[in-house]
Amino acid sequence: MNKSKLIFKGKIWFFLCMAFITGFSAAKMQEDITLDLVRKAGLLLGFSFSESQTTMMMPMIRSHMQSADALRTHGIDHSIPPALTFNPLPKDFHVSSTDRTTEWDIPGHVILPENFDEIAFYSIPELASLLRSGLITSEELTIFFLHRLKKYGDTLECVASLTEQRALARARLADQEMASGIFRGPLHGIPYGVKDLLAVADYPTSWGARPYKGQYLDYTATVVQKLDEAGAILVAKLTLGALAMGDVWHGGQTRNPWNLEQGSSGSSAGSAAAVSAGLVPFAIGSETLGSIVSPSTRCGVTGLRPTFGRVSRWGAMPLSWSMDKIGPIARSAKECAMVFEAIQGSDGLDNSLIDAGFFFDPETDISTLRVGYFHELFKDDHTGLDPDKQVLADLRELGVELHKVEWSIGQPVHALRIILYAEAAAAFDELTTSGRDSLLVSQDMNAWPNFFRAARFIPAVEYINANRVRYMLMEEMKQLMADYHVIVTPSFAGNQLLVTNLTGHPCLVVPNGFSETGDPLSISFIGSLFGEDKILALAQAWQNHSGHNRARPPLFDPLNK
Q: Where are the beta strands (DSSP E) in 273-380?
A: 283-287, 302-305, 325-330, 371-374
Report how far residue 366's alpha carbon sits from residue 399's, in angstroms, rounded to the nearest whole number: 8
Does residue 508 sit in helix, strand or coil? strand
Report how far residue 526's alpha carbon sits from residue 90's, in angstroms, rounded to the nearest whole number: 17
Active site residue 28: no
Q: Which residues pair with 523 in a beta bridge?
A: 490, 510
Phi and psi at 39, nearest 5°, equal -60, -45
How many C-beta atoms lie closer than 10 Å to residue 349's C-beta?
Answer: 14
Q: Which one of 123, 267, 320, 528 is the catalytic residue?
A: 267
Report how far residue 49's alpha carbon sits from residue 43's, in angstroms, rounded to the nearest whole number: 8
Report how far residue 556's alpha carbon sits from residue 260's, in angstroms, rounded to the nearest whole number: 11
How many C-beta atoms lie closer than 10 Å to residue 274's C-beta?
Answer: 34
Active site residue 267: yes
Active site residue 96: no
- Percent of residues in the chain assigned helix, strand, coil, to nearest 5: 45, 15, 40
Task: Return the biggest CA–CA distance within the chain.
Answer: 85
Report how far residue 121's alpha carbon sits from residue 202's, in angstroms, rounded to the nearest whole number: 30
Phi and psi at 259, nearest 5°, equal -160, 100
- For residue 352, give the nearest of 385, 316, 394, 396 by alpha carbon: 316
- What burial letters (b/e) apply to 244-267, b meaning 16+ CB within 10 Å? bbbbbbbbebbbbbbbeeebbbbb
Q: Which one of 123, 129, 138, 195 is the catalytic residue?
A: 195
Q: Which one of 129, 264, 271, 291 is the catalytic residue?
A: 291
Does residue 509 sit in helix, strand or coil? strand
**Residue 298: partners with Cβ closer than 8 Å, 6 or more residues away:** 256, 262, 263, 264, 265, 272, 519, 520
- Are the C-beta atoms of residues 191 and 235 closer than 8 Å to each other? yes
184 to 181, 187, 466, 479, 529: CA distances (angstroms): 10, 7, 45, 40, 28
- Are the C-beta atoms of residues 488 and 481 closer than 8 Å to each other? no
Active site members: 195, 267, 291
